[in-house]
Amino acid sequence: MSLTHRQRHLLPAALGDRLMAVCYGAGVDSTAMLVARKQAGLRPDIITFADLSAEKPPTLRGEDNALDIRVVA
Each residue of 8-36: pLDDT tens digit? 888 888 888 889 999 888 778 888 888 88
Q: What is the C-alpha separation between 34 and 47, in angstroms, rounded?
A: 10
As beta bridge partners, residue 51 has none
User: pTM, whole model, 2 decimals?
Assistant: 0.62
Reported as half-sphere exposure (CB side, CA atoms, 13 A), residue 43 has a value of: 1
**Cα(30)–Cα(55) distance, integer angstroms:** 14
Query: Coil, strand, or helix at residue 19?
Result: coil
pLDDT at residue 71 tops 50:
no
Which residue(s) pair with 47 in the sheet? Answer: 22
The secondary structure element, H or E, covering residue 9 is helix 5-15
Question: If you average pLDDT over every residue of the chain, what do you get?
Answer: 77
